Structure 1
């Protein structure tokens, strides 16, 4: 009678292991798809940003490149708050910080040209 009692547990264990293996393979495939979508999505975002900033929309550049660390409202988060960054740095200094990084902040080389000018001017006005 004990052998029969063990069989259901063995079946459940085998089914559990098979389920984990199947989910792992599905996850690996989804991971590749997500990575590919992010790579393709990044290009679309950059194109959209260039189009938006051609009109001088520094807020759109900030939201796309800075808000994740510095907060959507400049209030800070992983990075320091920027509500009064203009009282500490000039537009040129801000542009240099964005391009080259400072402290724990990495360089944001994807922000360049007209976008960089618009962003640094806008941030220098935050006082």
Structure 2
């Protein structure tokens, strides 16, 4: 009796198609969950490395800015920011975050919207 050589390929194809369908449904469910969280949480949250969200400006700074400015604001590749509030106003700091500071090599746009506002306010209090 001869075995049909198409059967193993057809079986693999059917299994593959079923896996694609299952993965698609799982992805759709995750997408809906993410969209619901965004609607409820708003823009003021940031995804941290551990996967949790935060609106704490010091945590946002730690995740985005500390690699250059130091976790304790003492500087590093970028200038120290531990007394930046005595030099610049909140509005000026917000503008620097938005557009960058080419003289020191700081790129603009690393933080946007409410995150940038929160960090600017927090940094303006560092005197």
TM-align CA RMSD: 1.9
- State the number of aligned residues: 79
- Tell me the distance in 2 between the aligned counterparts of 1:81 and 1:104: 11
Structure 1 residues 87-126: aligned runs within 5 Å: 87-102=86-101, 103-126=103-126
| 1:72 paired residue number | 71
Instruction: Give 1 or 2: higher helix fraction.
Output: 1
Show structure 1 runs of 4+ deviating over 6 A: none
The offset of 1:108, in angstroms, is 3.5
1:79 and 1:110, CA in 2 relative to 1: closer, same or farther beyond 3 A?
closer
TM-score after normalising by structure 1: 0.57
| 1:52 paired residue number | 54
| Superimposed CA distance per residue, residues 68-101 of structure 1 (whole angstroms, 9 cap, x where no aligned partner) | 0110000111111111000000111001111111
Instruction: Give 1 or 2: higher strand fraction.
Output: 2
SS of the residue corresponding to residue 61 of structure 2 reads helix
TM-score after normalising by structure 2: 0.57
